[in-house]
Amino acid sequence: MNWFRQLILPIEGSTLARDVDNAYLFVTLVSLFFFVLVAGLAALFVWRYRRRGPNEITPHITHNLGLEVTWTTIPLVLVMGLFFWGFYGFMRAQIAPGEAMEVQVTAKKWQWQFEYPDGMRTLNELHVPLGKPVRLVMTAEDVLHSFYVPSFRVKHDVIPNRYTEVWFEPTKAGTHQVFCTEYCGKGHSDMLAKIVVEDEQSYQKWLIEGDESMKSMPLAELGKLVWENRGCSTCHALDGTRGQGPSWKGIFGQTHKFADGASAPVDANYIRESLMEPQKHVVQGFEGIMPTYQGLLRPREVLGVIEFIKTLK
Ligand code: HEC
Ligand SMILES: [Cu+2]
């Protein structure tokens, strides 16, 4: 039976997969059985009861109680059984275990953004530990999308102005493919993401160090990515315009005055301190609303921000 599963179904990547597959295979096999039965009998009867001569008269049968009860009861039992089976599976897939790690998912044309409990964000790539339940709280910024991971047997619409949820507990390490499965415009078929399932140790290592591309990326580029993906861009412009926070243009090497009258040169240490203890020196003319990024940025990302700010002449 397992070779048959592997032949027609994707790999089983989560704890939900077995249940979904069993119900699916059951429906398929029952359909196949009745197809053969009905089509076979139809063919048989066409041949068996063919007209044999011009004057042949057949018996006039109007009904058969035994037969009718049988072909009503058997499908009824099958269909009701399937209903409860499906309902049980649906409820199980709907309600995440309480201890599940929560990840926010934002879909927009044409990408998936994931936000982890500590505020870190990734684009089109979700890292999760093996064997731990994960709950996704999903919403869309523009149009309907749909989050689909075949190997997890997980699929749910992602809707603007509303939150929908799925959960899964990955059982297979490796990379799993995410598709958007609700037509959402020109780039729909490119709206792909990966779920990287790894053991707890590699997952923690990834949290701290980032992936290969992050390790090999030039620092200034990494800094720009941090600015885009970690919320800095909502308060800090790069072109000299004043936002909720000061623009970063040309600040490296300047001397900045603070609300308490002190001043300090903008150098690597000052930038680092601005991230870790933003309230320690509040730039004059601004409010101390910047959140701390203590523990939320990887060491290499902090270096990246410093290098990136240096390049903004
Ligand atoms: C909610 C808005 C907000 C966000 C988000 C934010 N900042 Fe700030 N930031 C401010 C404000 C306001 C100031 C000025 C007041 C202060 O120094 O605390 C500031 C100051 C700074 C300074 C010192 C600038 C100067 O001219 O002296 C740096 C460097 C900085 N932020 C870096 C970052 C980085 C890097 C991020 C993203 C990882 C970030 N900020 C996210 C609001 C924000
Ligand atoms: Cu889409």
CB of 286 sitting under 6 A from ligand 1:
yes
Whole-number pLDDT of residue 75? 93
Q: Does residue 215 surpass a pLDDT of 90? A: no
End-to-end CA distance of the chain: 66
CB of 283 sitting under 6 A from ligand 1:
yes
Q: Does residue 57 surpass a pLDDT of 90? A: no
Contacts of 139 (CB under 8 A, 6+ apart): 104, 105, 106, 107, 158, 159, 160, 161, 162, 163, 164
- Count Cα neighbours of 96 within 13 Å in the Cβ-side half-sphere: 19
CB of 93 sitting under 6 A from ligand 1:
no
Structure tokens at 85: 């089976």
Whole-number pLDDT of residue 8? 87
Whole-number pLDDT of residue 128? 95
Domains of the chain, by residue range, sit at 2-42+63-94, 101-212, 218-311
Q: Which atom of ligand 1 is nearest to the CA of 226?
A: 38
CB of 303 sitting under 6 A from ligand 1:
no
- Residues 252, 246: contact at Cβ < 8 Å? no
Of 276, 290, 298, 305, the residue with max ligand 1 atoms within 8 A of its CB, to mutate for a pocket test, comes to 290
143 Cα: distance to centroid of ligand 2 (angstroms) = 8
- Residues 118, 295: contact at Cβ < 8 Å? yes
CATH class, domain 218-311, is mainly alpha
CB of 294 sitting under 6 A from ligand 1:
no
pLDDT tens-digit readout, 279-305: 999 999 999 889 888 877 888 889 999
16 Cα: distance to centroid of ligand 2 (angstroms) = 24
Q: Does residue 58 surpass a pLDDT of 90? A: no
283 Cα: distance to centroid of ligand 1 (angstroms) = 9
CA separation, residue 256 to residues 64, 189, 225 (Å): 96, 49, 25
* The residue type at 279: Q
Which ligand gives the minimal distance to the CA of 228? 1
Cβ count within 10 A of residue 297: 20
Average pLDDT over residues 18-27: 92
Sorting pLDDT into bands at 50, 70 and 90, what band is 139?
A: very high
Sorting pLDDT into bands at 50, 70 and 90, what band is 118?
A: confident
Average pLDDT over residues 152-160: 96
Sorting pLDDT into bands at 50, 70 and 90, what band is 2?
A: confident
Average pLDDT over residues 181-193: 93
Q: Does residue 212 surpass a pLDDT of 80? A: no
CB of 140 sitting under 6 A from ligand 1:
no
CB of 82 sitting under 6 A from ligand 1:
no
Strands 192-198 and 125-129: parallel
Lowest mean pLDDT among 119-123, 166-170, 194-198, 214-218: 119-123
Lowest mean pLDDT among 48-57, 133-142, 165-174, 188-197: 48-57
The closest residue, in CA terms, to atom 13 on ligand 1 is 245
273 Cα: distance to centroid of ligand 1 (angstroms) = 10
Whole-number pLDDT of residue 163? 96
Lowest mean pLDDT among 61-65, 181-185, 205-209, 265-269: 205-209
Give the domain 101-212 fold. Immunoglobulin-like (2.60.40)
pLDDT tens-digit readout, 230-267: 778 888 999 999 998 999 999 999 999 999 889 999 99
